[in-house]
């Protein structure tokens, strides 16, 4: 299971840098559901605008903060506090937890490690010729949206390998003068990266696609097409000298919740 917890800025930065690998909490109902191997998504207070994933590696429970801090004093507290009592006093006076709720619920120590994220890789290519760009319009899937030919990177492929294979499978041609135009990173239920290429010209003869209808679209009209919102956002950065990096948070139906695009 995955849980979400909030951290103060200093603690969040320590987790991100790998300095903090243990968290101290009340053993409330939410914490009692934790199991080794679960994922915690720590979010940075106050705006919750940054987050970091960790995996739970160990869980220890204690009846009170005195026993909890005593067990970990030398490792986590002796450089900052003179005694276990001083840590307990700071816990109460700092407004973290009250003595009453601590004695009622007990305490839990959560050890964790950085969560290794598996990114799903894909590629897409906007191929132009004579100021027109070849686009694929889905017949039924995704409600007739336009997209450049491309697809998911398979085992053993590089993104460019994937591009050449997918383009041939979907259009019957091999793009020429290929260049990397950008990388579009997204997070949803999974995290992924789409390598965005542009090309000029092609080899072979374009044939009908099983995926949808192939159409040559005026390059100047590309931004007016009904594309996925993620693609729509980076369309102005295509066919430029700079390489862009896009960062998107999207929904399962490909709606963009937040975006950030920068040039490199």
State pLDDT tens for residues 39-57.
999 999 998 888 888 999 9
- Same domain as 204, residue 184: yes
Percent of the chain scoring above 90 in pLDDT = 79
Residues 136 and 257 both lie in one domain: yes
Total domains present in the chain: 2
Long-range contacts of 139-146 (CB under 8 A, 24+ apart): 139/212, 139/213, 141/211, 141/212, 142/228, 142/254, 144/226, 145/226, 145/227, 145/228, 146/215, 146/217, 146/225, 146/226, 146/227
Q: Which of 114, 137, 170 is the last residue of a domain?
A: 114
Residues 19 and 89 in one domain: yes
Averaged pLDDT, 199-208: 95
Q: Is the peptide bond before 220 cis (omega within 30 degrees of 0)?
A: no
**Shared-domain flag, residues 145 and 190:** yes
- Token pair, residue 251, equals 């929904």
Its pTM stands at: 0.62
Looking at the structure, do residues 43 and 101 belong to the same domain, yes or no? yes
CA distance 166 to 173: 10
Q: Are residues 127 and 248 in the same domain?
A: yes
- Regarding whether 147 and 99 lie in a shared domain, the answer is no
Cα gap 135→143, rounded to integer Å: 15
Chosen domain end from 65, 94, 114: 114
Range of the domain at 155: 119-263
Tell the burial category of 167 from Cβ atoms under 10 Å away from its Cβ (0-12, 13-18, 19+). Answer: buried
71, 99, 114: which is the final residue of a domain? 114
Whichever domain contains 8, its CATH number is 2.30.130.30
**What's the rounded mean pLDDT across residues 139-151?**
85
- Using alpha carbons, select from 230, 245, 229, 249 the residue that is nearest to residue 181: 245
Which carries the bigger pLDDT value, residue 253 or residue 185?
185
Structure tokens at 126: 């906007």
138 and 43 share one domain: no
Are 202 and 176 a contacting pair, CB within 8 Å? yes
Nearest CA among 161, 196, 171 for reference residue 182:
196
pLDDT at 211: 83
Name the pLDDT band for 79 (thresholds 50, 70, 90): very high
Q: Token pair of 87, please?
A: 């840590």
Where residue 233 sits, what CATH number does that domain have?
A: 3.90.79.10
Domain shared by 235 and 125, yes or no: yes
Q: In what order do the strands lie in the sheet with 51-62?
A: 2-7, 39-44, 51-62, 107-114, 22-26
Query: Given this model, what pLDDT does residue 116 score?
Result: 73
Please indicate, yes or no, whether residues 143 and 256 belong to a single structural domain of this protein. yes
| Residue 24 pLDDT grade (very low, low, confident, very high; cuts 50, 70, 90) | very high
């Amino acid at each position: 299971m995955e849980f979400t917890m909030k951290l103060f800025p200093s603690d969040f930065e320590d987790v991100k840098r790998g300095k903090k690998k243990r968290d101290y909490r009340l053993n409330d109902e939410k914490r009692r559901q934790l199991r080794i191997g679960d994922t915690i998504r720590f979010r940075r207070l106050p705006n919750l605008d940054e987050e970091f994933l960790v995996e739970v590696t160990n869980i220890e429970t204690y009846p009170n903060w005195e026993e909890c801090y005593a067990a970990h004093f030398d490792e986590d507290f002796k450089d900052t506090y003179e005694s276990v009592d001083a840590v307990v006093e700071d816990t109460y006076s700092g407004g973290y937890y009250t003595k009453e709720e601590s004695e009622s619920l007990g305490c839990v120590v959560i050890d964790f490690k950085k969560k290794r994220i598996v990114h799903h890789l894909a590629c897409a290519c906007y191929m132009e010729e004579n100021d027109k760009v070849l686009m694929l319009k889905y017949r039924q899937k995704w409600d007739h949206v336009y997209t450049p030919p491309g697809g998911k990177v398979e085992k053993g492929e590089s993104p460019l390998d994937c591009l050449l294979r997918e383009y041939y499978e979907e259009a019957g041609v091999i793009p020429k003068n290929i260049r990397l135009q950008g990388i579009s990173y997204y997070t949803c239920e999974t995290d992924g990266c789409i390598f965005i290429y542009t090309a000029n010209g092609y080899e072979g003869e374009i044939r009908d696609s099983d995926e949808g209808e192939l159409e040559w679209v005026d390059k100047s009209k590309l931004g007016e097409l009904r594309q996925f919102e993620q693609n729509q956002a980076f369309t102005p950065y295509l066919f430029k000298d700079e390489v862009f990096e896009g960062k998107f948070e999207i929904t399962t139906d490909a709606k963009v919740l937040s975006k950030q695009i920068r040039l490199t």
